[in-house]
Amino acid sequence: PSMIAEADSLSAFTLIDARAAPRYRGDEEPIDRVAGHIPSAKNFYWGDALAPDQTFLPPDQLRAKLETILKGKSPDQVVCYCGSGVTAAFNMLAMEVAGLKGVKLYPGSWSEWSSDEKRVVAKGNE
C-alpha cells in the first residue's frame, strides 16, 4: 500500500509517464478515449532505460538519465504511471536499479485519469 498513489493525491508528486512520446504528447491514443497526459507529468519512455541488448542500462547511466527528469526531487516524491500501470511498474524497477528508491505507482494510470471528464488533460511536451 505504501507504494500506491491515488488520483486525488497526484498533485503533491512529481509524475513520470512511461508511455511513448506520441501518446504522452497526445499525438495519438490507440487505447483510451482521450489523448494526452496528466498535467505536470514528465515523459520517460520505459524503453529508454534499456541498453541495445535489451537489459537495463548500467545503474550510473540510468541514474543520470532519470535525474534529468527528477530535477532534484526525492524518489519518494515521485509517482510513475502509463496507460494502465504495466510499463509504469517497469520504470519503478528502473529507478530501483538506478538506486532511486521509494517511488510510487498510480495503478489507474492514464486509462483511469482520462475517463473522468472533470480532470484536466495536458497535451504537447509540457
State yes or no: is 82 an active-site residue.
yes
Position 90, amino acid? F
44 Cβ neighbours under 8 A, 6+ residues apart: 16, 17, 18, 65, 66, 69, 91
Which of these is catalytic: 18, 80, 82, 98?
82
- How far is it, in rounded angstroms, from Cα 50 to Cα 90? 11
What residues are annotated to the active site? 82
